Amino acid sequence: MKYFRLIWANLLRAKRRTFLTVFSIAIALFLFCTLRTVITSFEASLRASEATRLVVRHGASLVFPLPLAYRERLVQVPGVNGVSYGNWFGGFYQDPKNQFAQFAMDVPTMFDLFPELVMPADQVQAFRSERTAAIIGKALAKKYGWKLGDQVPIIGTIFPGEWRFVVRGIYEGKTKDVDENTLFFHWDYLNESLPEGRKNQVGIYWIRVASPDLAADVSRRVDAMFENSPQPTKTETEKAFQAGFISMIGNIQLLLTIIGSAIVFAIMLVTVNTMMMAARERTTEIAVLKTLGYSDGLILRLVAGEALLVSLLGGLLGCGLAALVFHESDFTASGFFPNFRVLPETIVAGLLLAVLMGILSGIVPAVTAARLEVASALRKVA
Amino acid sequence: MESRNGNLVELRNVHKVYFRDRIEVPVLQGIDLTIREGEFVALMGPSGSGKSTLLNLIAGIDSPTDGEVRVAGESLGTLKPGKLAAWRARHIGFIFQLYNLIPVLTAYQNVELPLLLTKLSAKERKKRVLKVLGLVGLEARAKHFPRQLSGGEEQRVAIARAIVADPTLLVADEPTGDLDAKNAAEILTLLQRLHAELEKTILMVTHDPHAAERAEKTLHLDKGVLQP
Amino acid sequence: MAVPLAYNLRNLFARKVSTTLTALGIGLVSWVFIFTLALAGGFQSALQKTGSHENAIVVRSGSTAELTSIIPREAAAAIESQPEIARAPDGTPLATHELVVLWNLERKNGTSTNVVVRGVTPKSFALRPRIRLVEGRMFRPGLEEVVVGRLANARIAHLAVGDRIKLAGRAWSVVGVFDAQGTSFDSEIWGDVELFMPVFDRPVYQSVTFRLDDPSHFGAIQKRLESDPRMSVQVKHEDDFYAAQSATLAGLLRGLGLFVTLIMALGAVFGALNTMYAAVGARAKEIGTLLALGFSRGAILTSFLIESVLLATLGGLLGCLLALPVNGITTSTTNFASFSEIAFRFEVTPSMLLSGMIFAAVMGALGGWFPSRNAARRVIVEALRQA
């Protein structure tokens, strides 16, 4: 629009000040995107969950196992068309700090129940046919530099000792939200190595239902089936299961929101101050524009437009930087955030926030300029 | 544009009072004034006499405490602020003592400012800007910033800005007050040309009698009262 | 000759709005700094205070948390018969064997969490003398009664004295609440270990804890037990053991906090830069006058630098004041190291407040350096010409 040059020229008037302001807004938005991404990466598992997959675990807590015998009964539940199972292994590689997920899985059924694990057929075959074989996610392979054929020793914490696996497959996730930081190996291999008293115990069962609307019914039916047995179950959709994990983190989301708000507010104060300083220097000019016939409303829009432009520039810079920095990075904070990437929704939210900041910080200077009395302003000069 | 009896400016019993820390300071007292179309009028008076205030009232950037101000057929007191601004854009060209060019804009862009308020296309605007810059002899300096121009050149750009929208009335507040004798003379010659060739109506406030000589007629203001 | 401090102070107060906004901005950064330190510190402190250095805890070798540890009865008996263990007044060893399971319960706000349910003996209380009963009474051995920690009582649903809670298919009466001084035990449910074992179908203990008769004997008993072929265990000081569980999450919280604060500080420094540059610009005439009067350029630089630091410190003070109410706020999370609920309180320490003030002052110095140099370098004649 034709007034753009006027607005732009005003920004260039005090280059250093504009630069500093744009940068502080960029910083605020960079932090906003980062904090928001902490929350969205927690929720990645929610986005990746399948609507037809249910999780069956011990009713008391994940800590207690379920009998292997349950498998036969689960297969026969009406509406169920697939059953698999696995145990959380919970070990580490070399140093307790190197933690990532390891699961002992029932290999014959796992690929049926988890179609989002994409792997070439020959690797699937190699994995199936070798007892000590393991498959690892692409991101995990990249992090530790593991290749096909490598021997990976894992120190167990729940199942003590050093366990050796051979990498026979590297899987990819079907979508970006699927976690690629897990190691899967044979459940049978784990089971046969355990002492008698601990054999044939399953950590989690996964069952697939024919359609999502059967989920609630099947869950109820399964739990009713085992209600009075020594190992009662709790069955829920995978999404609910993952959500339960996330809620265990408790108030962290609230805390991050508090911090994020403090940041945005602090930077806004800085920006308002800058805008007001800039406005104070321009009273004469604004008076002149008014003598030329620029109306109060137009002046208000011009000053507000300046604030908006500065904020938008800062927003683009900050959000863009966040997207770039975390784009292909390995940042996982030692396994806490397997999938730390900035979602498009986060960037849009950031830009909207920048616009809001622009509007709020521009209000006072814009209204002041609009209300400026020409005659008195001119009198001050000459 | 409507005018009665060829009168462009009519002031009837105009009073203006300022308040400084609750003390009333009367600046203009019972002013009756008429300026006809096409006149070049100088307004003289010692400092503090209220000349600038009178100018501001006529230009519509201030309003009287009492009395009526009619310019170009409009009674300014009846116009709402938005309408007044639009009126000003159309009818008034203001020339200041300290030029008041916007330092971050080039000469061209400064002159273009009043035209941005119109519906003219960029091409049309360019035509007019270059025309008036040519008129004041500064076409070659169109792309220069005010800080790159001398005082006299800045004032000429300011004059170009004041006439680019073809206003009904030019008001100049001490246009030569900050210039040396040579530049002052050039500016006054330019104003005379605008009056003679373009038939512009000009009201010029000045305390310099040499400047006032260049006008057709001189009014005297003392202590807020027009001398007969 | 130095420029009088009053000059700076008056100028700060003359531009009230600008001063306030900048100080508030810096203050908020200080606040976030202290906030995250208090969060991480509170979490870590809860766990660190949990153990005592005079106690030793024995868990299965390789286990980082009690949850994954297994100590059979015979091994526990063997451990408790060691000579280095202190004696209780009645002559028996001051040692206890405990069972630890997690139970999925709901917090009062509806979210779910895993609460530690610990089977204890009377010696468990003797070993942790800071734990006191504050409401109700102790559970009676052999009966389906439990006592709960203060924070568990406050934050988990249905754990008030008189409530009945369903564990392992049985209903247990909550008969008392104990105060464990903000340690992780405050988030736990305690009952009779001998009764828990058959009910939870756990024929083994998770840990053995004892008091050393002499702290210097730790090494000896550790070596003997860890090399004993009948059991595979590790022996640690109780406080080290619990402290280690907090390391990862505390480190993560601190790391995040530091990351956020440093970047935010950069933004605040930019704000301070803007303010100070504007101040210097507006006061060019004064600077010219001061220089003309004979003040040295060094004095001018110092003066503006001090002004900036003063402004920032004011902000830091504000940040500290705002941080004080945060102290003591309770929150909770799941410590992934032990997979269990831990409630803790934000801990604002004097050293954190001091750090916050120093941090603010540093931001002020950084934001004031270049503008101060700018002020000191002004050419006198030009400065005086300012309108």
Residues C264 and C375 in one domain: yes
β-pairing verdict for A161-173 and A151-156? antiparallel
Residues A25 and A76 in one domain: no
pLDDT confidence of residue A245: 75
Give all chains having 3 or more CB-to-CB distances under 8 Å with chain C.
A
**C56 within domain boundaries:** no
**Residues written for chain B:** 228
The per-residue pLDDT string of chain C (387 residues; one tens digit each, 9 = 90 and over) reads 677 787 788 888 888 888 888 898 889 989 989 998 898 888 888 888 888 888 999 998 878 788 888 899 999 999 998 888 998 888 899 999 999 988 888 888 888 788 999 999 999 999 998 899 999 999 999 899 999 999 999 999 999 999 999 888 789 999 999 999 888 899 999 999 999 998 888 888 999 999 998 888 899 999 999 988 888 899 999 988 888 888 777 887 888 888 888 888 888 888 888 888 888 888 887 787 777 777 778 888 888 899 999 999 999 999 999 999 999 888 888 777 777 888 888 999 999 999 999 999 999 999 899 999 888 887 777 777 665
Residue A382 binned pLDDT confidence (cut-offs 50, 70, 90): very low
**A365 within domain boundaries:** yes
Q: What ranges make up the beta strands (E) of C13-149?
A: 55-60, 95-106, 112-120, 132-136, 145-149
Q: List the domain boundaries for chain B.
A: 38-61+80-227
Task: Residue A208: name the closest of A187, A238, A233, A173 by CA.
Answer: A238
* Average pLDDT of the segment spanning B32-43: 91
Of A9, A298, A374, the CB nearest to B105: A9
The radius of gyration of chain C's CA atoms, rounded to the nearest angstrom, is: 30
pLDDT confidence of residue A329: 65
Residues C286 and C379 in one domain: yes
Residues A126 and A208 in one domain: yes
**C53 within domain boundaries:** no
Contact B85 A289 (CB under 8 A): no
Q: Is C278's Cβ below 8 Å from some Cβ in A? A: yes
β-pairing verdict for C164-167 and C112-120? unpaired
Cα separation of B59 and A291, whole Å? 8
Let me know: does B50 contact B16? Beta carbons within 8 Å. Answer: yes
**A242 within domain boundaries:** no
For chain A, positions 228-267, list CB contacts with chain C under 8 A.
230, 232, 234, 244, 247-252, 255, 258-259, 262-263, 265-267
Residues A225 and A265 in one domain: no
Identity of residue C123: K
Task: Residue B61: name the closest of B38, B41, B91, B32 by CA.
Answer: B91
Residue A132 DSSP one-character state: T
Domain B38-61+80-227, CATH class in plain words: alpha beta
Task: Residue B135: name the closest of B162, B95, B116 by CA.
Answer: B162
**A340 within domain boundaries:** yes
Of A90, A255, A266, the CB nearest to C268: A266
Per the listing, tokens 């002992």 go with A104
Residues C10 and C112 in one domain: no
- The tokens for B221 are 């203001």
Here the ipTM equals 0.75
- The tokens for C178 are 């104990």
Q: What is the tally of structural domains in chain C?
A: 2
Of C35, C259, C274, the CB nearest to A20: C274
β-pairing verdict for A233-237 and A53-58? antiparallel
Give how far B86 is from chain A: nearest CA, Å: 6
Domain that holds residue C15: 5-48+246-384
**C278 within domain boundaries:** yes
Domain that holds residue A190: 60-231
**C327 within domain boundaries:** yes
Residues C259 and C361 in one domain: yes
Three-class SS of residue C308? helix
Q: Is C262's Cβ below 8 Å from some Cβ in A? A: no
Element (H, E) at A88: strand A80-88
pLDDT confidence of residue B1: 47
Give how far B164 is from chain A: nearest CA, Å: 11
- The tokens for A116 are 């989002």
pLDDT digits (tens, 9 = 90+) for B164-213: 988 989 999 888 888 888 888 999 999 999 898 888 899 999 888 888 88
Contact A160 C39 (CB under 8 A): no
- In chain B, what percentage of residues exceed pLDDT 70? 97
Residues A310 and A356 in one domain: yes
Contact A288 B104 (CB under 8 A): no
- The tokens for A197 are 């008293």
pLDDT confidence of residue C10: 80
> Is the model's pLDDT at A246 over the cut of 80?
no
**A221 within domain boundaries:** yes
Of A90, A270, A333, the CB nearest to C252: A333
Of A5, A289, A294, the CB nearest to B109: A5
**A243 within domain boundaries:** no
Cα separation of C364 and C369, whole Å? 8
pLDDT digits (tens, 9 = 90+) for B10-22: 889 999 888 777 8
Residues C72 and C108 in one domain: yes
Q: What ranges make up the beta strands (E) of chain B?
A: 7-20, 23-36, 40-44, 66-71, 74-75, 92-95, 169-173, 201-206, 217-222, 225-227
Contact B105 A295 (CB under 8 A): no
* Average pLDDT of the segment spanning A26-38: 88
Residues in B closer than 8 angstroms to A378, CB to CB, are 56, 61, 96
**C103 within domain boundaries:** yes
Per the listing, tokens 């698999």 go with A84
Residues A216 and A277 in one domain: no
Q: Is A378's Cβ below 8 Å from some Cβ in B? A: yes
Residues C151 and C288 in one domain: no
Identity of residue B204: M
Cα separation of B88 and B72, whole Å? 10
Residue A154 binned pLDDT confidence (cut-offs 50, 70, 90): very high
Residues with Cβ within 8 Å of residue C325, at least 6 apart in sequence: none
Last residue of a domain, one of A231, A263, A286: A231
Residues C252 and C277 in one domain: yes
pLDDT confidence of residue A50: 81
Residues A192 and A217 in one domain: yes
* Average pLDDT of the segment spanning A101-129: 92
Task: Measure CA B82 to chain center.
Answer: 20
Q: Is A293's Cβ below 8 Å from some Cβ in B? A: yes
**Integer CA distances (angstroms), A4 to A301, A309, A372, in order:** 11, 10, 22
Residues A30 and A143 in one domain: no
Residues in C closer than 8 angstroms to A160, CB to CB, are 60-63, 232
Cα separation of C364 and C276, whole Å? 10
Residues C44 and C66 in one domain: no
A206-224 burial, b at 16+ Cβ within 10 Å, e below that, comes to: bbbbeeeebbeebbeebbe
Let me know: does A86 contact A110? Beta carbons within 8 Å. Answer: yes
The torsion angle over the Cα atoms of residues C69, C75, C81 and C87, rounded to 10 degrees, is: 30
Three-class SS of residue A221? helix
Residues A215 and A99 in one domain: yes
Cα separation of C207 and C98, whole Å? 5
Residue A330 binned pLDDT confidence (cut-offs 50, 70, 90): low
**A241 within domain boundaries:** no
Of C102, C107, C167, the CB nearest to A63: C102
**C271 within domain boundaries:** yes
Q: What is the mean pLDDT of chain A?
A: 86
Residues C216 and C132 in one domain: yes
Helix ranges (H only) for C128-231 are: 150-155, 193-199, 218-226
* Average pLDDT of the segment spanning B146-152: 89
**C330 within domain boundaries:** yes
Residues A192 and A90 in one domain: yes
Report the chain A residue with the minimal C-alpha distance to residue C387. A381
**C215 within domain boundaries:** yes
Residues in A closer than 8 angstroms to B74, CB to CB, are none
**A98 within domain boundaries:** yes
Residues C117 and C252 in one domain: no
Q: What is the tally of structural domains in chain A?
A: 2
pLDDT confidence of residue A336: 60
**A51 within domain boundaries:** no
> Is the model's pLDDT at A117 over the cut of 60?
yes
